[in-house]
A = this chain, B = another copy of it.
Amino acid sequence: MMDFALTILGVNGAKPAFGRFPTSQFLQIQNHFFLIDCGEGAQMRLSDFGMPASKVDHIFISHLHGDHIFGLPGLLFSFALNDRSKPLHVYSPPGLEQMIMAQLTPGGQLPFAVHFHVIPTDKSVLIFENDALTVSTVPLIHRIPASGFLFREKQFQKNIIGEKISEHQLSIAQIKAVKQGEDILLDNGKTLKNEELTHPDYIPRSYAFASDTMYNEAMIPIINHVDLLYHETTFCEDRKENAVITQHSTAQEAATIARKASVGKLITGHYSSRYKELDIFQDEAASIFGNTVLGLEGKTYKVGRLRKQ
């Protein structure tokens, strides 16, 4: 399973409205599953959209405003009711542990460990790594400390061309070497170049989450060329002064970041409850960055696996 798929669970800003939930997202990269932010009702949305919540071992929280965290206690308690025993890791700016643990009711000890990791919000640092991907922070500018997240696949192992194995009668050790990118010296003294034996590399895919934040060009070099960028678009041009006051972004500002960072696709979201209809976000962003799609709950945004040419 080599999917790279972002499913939006909640896309409204500040509070729920018009059936839209506060922020949360479910991200699958290969066979790894992540939750990004956890607004109230995230566990219902995971269920509504058929996402495998129990597979999530790492939750990334952008900042401690209620609309990004109030779904966390309920999710933890449901994990407990479902007899989860494996540990859970939660990454956030400082203070979350105290807020969450204060809600452990009498006798409400969780049957699994929760590891809270405090992340910096003033610089981009690596905060998670496994065999398939890395996660780094993306500094944001908001009313309280806030951080986005950059998910980036590692280079895939070389994919050997099947026929070459029999053609050259490669040994297990040679096959292993080829997969690691090495050339092969045959007994006859001839060298087989790695690129003759393998398919072109898959291009590692990437996703950046940037919410909540005001317009911040400092993130551009960090998220440069990501395949998918979710950048908050709380307001449109008609209320751009609200964006300044509340330290949020307009659709056009998000699109400007997307354009300057040459991302593959921009996803809008974190819509203010002042907007019932959302098409205007798409229209305004697309006027600056054509490859913009509306962030909608229940919708999954995939990145295909492509080989280098």
Q: Which residues of A contact B (CB under 8 A)?
A: 14-17, 19, 21-22, 40-41, 43-44, 47-48, 64-67, 70-71, 73-74, 77-78, 81, 95, 98-99, 102-103, 105-108, 143-144, 273
Contacts and interface: CB of A to CB of B under 8 A. Distances in A.
19 contacts: A15-B43, A15-B78, A16-B44, A17-B47, A19-B44, A40-B41, A40-B44, A40-B71, A41-B41, A65-B108, A66-B74, A66-B103, A66-B108, A70-B70, A70-B74, A70-B77, A95-B106, A102-B103, A106-B144
Contacts of A16: 43-44, 47, 74, 78
A105 B70 contact: no
- Oligomer: number of copies: 2
Nearest to A101: B102
Contact of A48 (B19, B43, B48, B66): B19
Contacts of A98: 102
A105 to B, nearest CB: 5
Given A65-B105, A102-B98, A144-B107, A77 B15 contact: yes
B105 A64 contact: yes
Contacts of A65: 105, 108
Nearest to A14: B81
A74 B15 contact: yes
A207 to B, nearest CB: 26
A296 B171 CA distance: 66
A40 to B, nearest CB: 4
A41 B15 CA distance: 11
